[in-house]
Structure formats: C-alpha cells, structure tokens
C-alpha cells in the first residue's frame, strides 16, 4: 500500500516477466514499448506485452491487483510469449536487453533519441546493475545495428562520466599538488 495515495502498489510488469523467466529457465526479450516503459522513457503502458523466448507460444494473464479489497476492477497484465528468431536471440536474457529494445522502439522517432538517451542514463544511474549493463553494451556493441552504435557509445560514455563525477577525490600526500597551481 502506497503511503502517499493509500492505494495498492502493483508490481511492475517486468517483475512478472523476470519471475517467469527464472521459473521456466528462459532467456527472454521484451518488446520495445515494454522495455521503454520499464526504463521510464514513456508513459505508454502496453495493454499486452510481447515476450520473445525460447519456449512454445502462449499467453499468460496475471491479475496484479489480487488481494486489493479496494480494487474497482482488476489490473490484468497480458504477456504474449512468442518464439524467438535466432537473429534476435542474442540480447535475450542479457543485462542490456531492455536498453537495446527501447532504442529499437525509438528508431523511427530520431527526434526523440536525445530524450531517450537522457532517460536511459538517468534510469541506469539508479540501477544497481548499471555496471553490468554498461559492460554488456561495451562488450557487445558489434551486436547492435549500425544506426544504434553512436547511441550506445553515448550511453556508455555518459555512464562512465557519471561514475567518475561521483567518485571521491583521491587522497593526496602533504605537498602533493600541481606545480603550476598556487
């Protein structure tokens, strides 16, 4: 229950997807809109999320509002599982999967790239897996489409800059200073 609104707070869709992936030992790849929503890049909430996985096609409906006595109507997440194509499977289950999928979703809206990059960097700055995600992007930049290279390079550079800005100043010995600065 939210302390601010007094209403039930429903788990995000991504927590259900991740739980199903762990339970069924699946490598999953969420669709672009779901990834963008998970990263806070859009307020658009998909009625259905398409989840690409190495499993048989199926739809899972989850009533996220179960246990809420004040729920007027149920909140139902619909997850459409579809078989993954081999060429798309690379990012399935990888730390940077949501970043790559969100950028793919924004592909046709090039004017939104700066806002998307800012949103991704902002989201990752609070994400405990930030280093894993950035490393995954750096190590596997060869696996993104050519149009995405500069975006991924910008994201990884800005994450690295944010980390160095937040790093504590190194300890200096007495008398250890730049010679030309007084």
User: Residues 124-146, buried b or exposed e (16+ Cβ, 10 A)?
Assistant: beebeebeebbebbbebeeebee
| Confidence (pLDDT) at 141 | 94
Per-residue pLDDT of the chain in tens (182 residues, 90 and over written 9): 667 777 666 778 888 899 999 999 988 999 999 999 889 898 888 888 999 998 889 999 988 777 667 777 777 889 999 998 776 789 999 999 999 999 999 888 878 889 999 999 999 999 999 999 999 999 999 999 999 999 999 999 999 988 776 555 445 444 444 444 43
- Cα 85 to chain center, whole Å? 21
Interatomic CA distance for residues 105 and 53, integer angstroms: 18
Q: Rounded to 5 degrees, what are φ and ψ at 126?
A: -100, -5
Which sequence spans correspond to the domains of the chain? 13-166
Q: Cβ distance 88 to 52 under 8 Å?
A: yes
């Amino acid at each position: 229950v939210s302390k601010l609104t007094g209403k039930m707070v429903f788990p995000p869709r991504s927590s259900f997807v991740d739980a199903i992936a762990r339970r069924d030992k699946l490598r999953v790849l969420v669709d672009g809109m779901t990834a963008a929503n998970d990263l806070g890049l859009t307020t658009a909430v998909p009625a259905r999320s398409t989840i690409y996985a190495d499993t048989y096609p199926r739809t899972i409906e989850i009533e996220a509002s179960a246990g809420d006595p004040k729920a007027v109507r149920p909140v139902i997440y619909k997850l459409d599982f579809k078989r993954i194509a081999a060429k798309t499977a690379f990012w399935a289950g990888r730390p940077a999967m949501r970043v790559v999928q969100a950028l793919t979703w924004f592909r046709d809206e090039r004017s939104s790239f700066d806002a998307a990059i800012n949103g991704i960097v902002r989201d990752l700055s609070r994400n405990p897996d930030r280093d894993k995600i950035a490393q995954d992007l750096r190590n596997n930049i060869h696996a993104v489409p050519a149009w995405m290279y500069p975006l991924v390079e910008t994201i990884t550079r800005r994450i690295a800059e944010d980390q160095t800005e937040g790093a504590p100043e190194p300890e200096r010995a007495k008398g250890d200073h730049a010679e030309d600065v007084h």
